[in-house]
Structure 1
Amino acid sequence: MKTVKPTNSLPWNKGKLVGQKSPLRLRDIWGIRIRLELAAKVRDLALFDLAIDSKLRACDLTKLRVRDVAHGANVSSRAIIMQQKTHRPVQFEITAQTRAALDAWLKQARLKNEDYLFPSRQGASPHLSTRQYARIVKSWVASIDLDPVSYGTHSMRRTKASLIYRRTKNIRAVQILLGHTKLESTVRYLGIEVDDALEMAEQTEV
């Protein structure tokens, strides 16, 4: 017997925003950073700054260990990790500001070399889960009155890459920084064609 779908059934994505999450702008970055500093949220500040610098996927960021970003008592200026999705290494810079935030977090949490960099505060996982991280990101964007629906963990991954591309227009460099195997993936990921078209339109307005 053939099953007939109810006529009042709704699409799964009705009322939801589907597609890539927006990257943060410079003023958004500073707005979040200042609020975290004022609230003395040492872990969140370290997590936020490293998420921006590293451009890592949530699954890689949350599984970082202390040894991945520090040698002894010193936070490194660069780090290299193996990506879970592609099984390829990716290297990233850790800026002075991020190093300071990480140093403060490591001292406060008294983490050892083999410890996860961001331990979970729940018993289900030894490290921060991607779901927990997603909730934290939502709280960050909400704190500066952005719509949490438009932002997510991929916003953190896309932010610095988008800023670098806008400044340099060097798509090959961004591909390397994101650890993409194909240039086409980077083009789609950043939405470059759309952004460039809009930028050109703005420049030619009369």
Structure 2
Amino acid sequence: METPNLPAIRALRPVWNKGRIVGQKRPLKPKHVWAIRVRLELAEARRNLALIKPAIDSKLRSCDLVKMKVVDIMASGQIKERASVLQSKTQKSVRFEISQGTRASLARWMGEPLIIGSEYLWPGRFHERLHISTRQYARIVREWVTSIGLEASAYGTHSMRRTKVTQIYKKTENLRAVQLLLRHTKMDSTVRYLGVELEYAPDIAEVIEI
């Protein structure tokens, strides 16, 4: 009597996203940004102080942020009031303001030995890496959010991109302005990106009386 070929029994693997928050990462709130900056100032972390504001103000994707060059923010030895960076995904230039406080942080960072002579604004610590990697940037953001008691799995590098535009929408409710700032071609993309329908539906319902 022949023994039928039975399928091999495989050990069940743990679900990769068990216990993790997946999907869209949350934006930081203004109080979160201030709390992180205070801790960075106390630690005298000049690079991260110079990194956090451009990461929020530029609204750049991590792949573009880590590749920012010194010439993007400096001209004739001075920090520019406005910077312009070419996005790798869309091949379109994005402009953003550099506030006075951010210019001061960048100026202090430009005096650090690590960046002197570097083409890139966020140089890597190894000779084979010209600038920090997106993975290293992700670790930096993780350290920021955990330092103020936030759940690391709920936040990421995209949180930095979403932070300012979320506040702009909350104050103006101008989706078109947010669309232009993010360089989205479709309004639907902006709506999904902000999570407008999900996050603000309860607020809208509260102010409408019948």
TM-score with structure 2 setting the length: 0.89
1:108 to 95, 112, 123: 112
1:169 to 173, 176, 195: 173
SS of residue matched to 1:108: coil
CA distance in 2, matches of 1:41, 1:170: 36
CA distance in 2, matches of 1:72, 1:64: 17
Checking the alignment, whether the CA contact within 8 Å between 2:61 and 2:161 is kept in structure 1 is yes
How large is the Cα RMSD of the aligned pairs? 2.1
Per the alignment, residue 154 of structure 2 pairs with 150
1:125-170 C-alpha deviation (Å, 9 max, x unpaired): 1101000000000000111111111111000010001011111111
Superposition pairs of residues 74-93 of structure 1, within 5 angstroms: 74-93=78-97
Checking the alignment, whether the CA contact within 8 Å between 1:118 and 1:128 is kept in structure 2 is yes
Checking the alignment, whether the CA contact within 8 Å between 1:52 and 1:156 is kept in structure 2 is yes
Checking the alignment, whether the CA contact within 8 Å between 1:137 and 1:153 is kept in structure 2 is yes
Checking the alignment, whether the CA contact within 8 Å between 1:111 and 1:117 is kept in structure 2 is no
Aligned residues: 204
CA distance in 2, matches of 1:202, 1:150: 27
CA distance in 1, matches of 2:68, 2:9: 46
Per the alignment, residue 131 of structure 1 pairs with 135
Distance 1:2 1:122, change over 3 A: farther
For structure 1, which runs of at least 5 residues remain unmatched after alignment? none
For structure 2, which runs of at least 5 residues remain unmatched after alignment? none
1:51 to 55, 59, 72: 55
Distance 1:183 1:8, change over 3 A: same
1:106-136 C-alpha deviation (Å, 9 max, x unpaired): 1224534x61000011344110100000000
- Percent identity among equivalent residues? 50
CA distance in 2, matches of 1:178, 1:88: 11
Distance 1:3 1:179, change over 3 A: farther
Per the alignment, residue 12 of structure 2 pairs with 8
SS of residue matched to 1:14: coil
